[in-house]
């Protein structure tokens, strides 16, 4: 997160909820319906 957003971003978000992640590849972000993929079924 520090690399993608700004130095210190990961520390600033720590303990405050929100989404923290490490991108595994480059790509294009698009707006549209979300797709949830899990290893096991999840009841929504």
Residue 14 in this model has a pLDDT that exceeds 80: no
Q: Are 1 and 8 in contact (CB under 8 A)?
A: no
Taking residues 9-38, what's their average pLDDT?
76
- Split at pLDDT 50, 70, 90, the class of 4 is confident
Task: Tell me: pLDDT of 17 over 70.
Answer: no
Q: What is the pLDDT of residue 20?
A: 61
Burial class of residue 43, CB neighbours in 10 A (0-12, 13-18, 19+): exposed
Residues 6+ apart with CB under 8 A from 27: none
Question: Can you tell me the distance from the alpha carbon of 18 to that of 10, in angstroms, rounded to the nearest whole number?
Answer: 11
pTM summary value: 0.35
Confidence of residue 30 (pLDDT cuts 50, 70, 90): confident
Chain mean pLDDT for the chain: 77
């Amino acid at each position: 997160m520090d690399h993608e957003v700004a130095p210190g971003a990961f520390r600033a978000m720590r303990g405050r909820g929100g989404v923290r992640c490490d991108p595994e590849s480059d790509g294009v972000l698009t707006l549209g319906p979300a797709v949830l993929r899990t290893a096991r079924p999840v009841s929504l």
